[in-house]
Structure 1
Amino acid sequence: MQGTVDARRAYARATCYCRDCQAYARHLGQPGVMDAQGGTDIIAMNPDAVTFTAGEEHIAGLCLREGGLLRWYAGCCRTPLGNTPRHGHVAYVGVVAACLPDAQQRDAAFGPRDRIVLNAGAALGDVRPTPFAVIGGGLRIAAGVVTAKLRRQAPSLFFDMSGQPHRTAHPLSARDRRPARPEPA
């Protein structure tokens, strides 16, 4: 798969330590998705900023729990792509930074990692929360989503014009969830 992202359409960059992000990374089994404390580097952006230029037929999806985010990946190599709400009328995709090839270019385009820390309480090690940065990032995301709504942005990327996913995001079975979501120590 190949694609591009337009950094000008990014809302915020955060590291998420939630158990769902950890389970997603473990299930895909790709090294480098999580940091040592279990955090996933996520770039929140408008889905119009993401374009696939080759291999779009390989996009696969899963959901970790009923009503949870849809988590997308390349079915051919299990590279994580991002997460979206369940309906395409919300202009949000959380691109997993690990799918972007060059860390230096990521930092130059989207700013340094860890300015915004989400769900620090679920981290596998000591991680300092960033409550004020979370509020600021949340406001930037909300502003981007509302602006897209006011502009009547059509669903894109993973969704059809009615807002339904182009592909089925299969729920993980209980058997697949167990190793992906071990109990905290």
Structure 2
Amino acid sequence: MKLACRCGQVQGEVDPQRAYARATCYCRDCQAFARWLGGEGLLDAAGGTDIVAMAPDGLRFTRGFDQVTCMSLGPRGLLRWYASCCRTPLGNIPRDSKLYYLGVPVPAIAEPAEAIDAAYGPRGRIAVNAESATGEVESSGLARFVGTLRIVANLLGARLRGRRNVLLFDADGLPLREPLVLDRAERDALTAGS
């Protein structure tokens, strides 16, 4: 499936076979990142971010990698990658390259909604961090359990096989781009009211 930023300078491919689960995250950090990007359409009506959790080797950039950069909401937070040209979110990864995880925001997948649903499952079936939602959220506890189990099983399997994220890290385990790290005041301003 095609990945693209809003202006089209950054492009890539996402392999549905490498997906762990599709979930909507309502955490304050995902909401703050969307506000920081200033993008319309990044959050649903209850403040959720639609994400495909997957193996990092399931994403390949084909164009515009020089426009890909990252930030973090704090010195220990996730590395949140985005297209600097138009501030489109592209992926979230843990700071530790040994955690074989990549969260791809669905707005970066440049395919029709029906194709995305067919490949990754319907939106809203799994809700995480719903206590931070800004509105009513319905989610099946069983779907959340199964989705979490799939993610954890894939992370453990990758760890046992010695896999590490080489998509956005160098050979020493450092991010390919120096992240912009927000200070506490900047982060608090973004999370106020959420």
TM-score, normalised via structure 2 length:
0.89
Cα shift at 1:143 = 1.3
Separation (CA, whole Å) in 2 of partners of 1:5 and 1:125: 30
Aligned equivalent of 2:166, options 143, 156, 166: 156
Q: Give the counterpart letter for 2:151 in structure 1.
A: I
- 8 Å Cα contact 1:46/1:91 also seen in 2: yes
Deviates more, 1:51-60 or 1:147-156: 147-156
The answer as to 2:42 corresponding to 1:38 is no
Give % identity. 49
Match of 1:169 among 170, 175, 179: 179
Structure 2 unmatched runs, 5+:
1-9
User: Structure 2 residue aligned with 1:116, among 118, 126, 132?
Assistant: 126
Q: Could you tell me which of 96, 115, 134 is aligned with 1:105?
A: 115
Superposed counterparts of 1:135-150, under 5 Å = 135-150=145-160
Please report how far the alpha carbon of residue 129 of structure 1 lies from its aligned counterpart in structure 2 after TM superposition: 4.2
Name the SS for the 2:138 alignment partner.
Answer: coil
Q: Which amino acid aligns with 1:22?
A: Q
Q: What residue number does 1:95 align with? A: 104
RMSD value, Cα = 1.5
| Equivalent residue, structure 2, for 1:61 | 70
How far the C-alpha of 1:138 sits from its partner, in A, is 1.4
Q: Which amino acid aligns with 2:122?
A: P
How many pairs were matched up?
184
Moved over 3 A (4+): 173-176
Contact 1:87/1:165 (CA < 8 Å) preserved in 2? no
Gap runs ≥5 in structure 1: none
TM-score (norm 1): 0.93
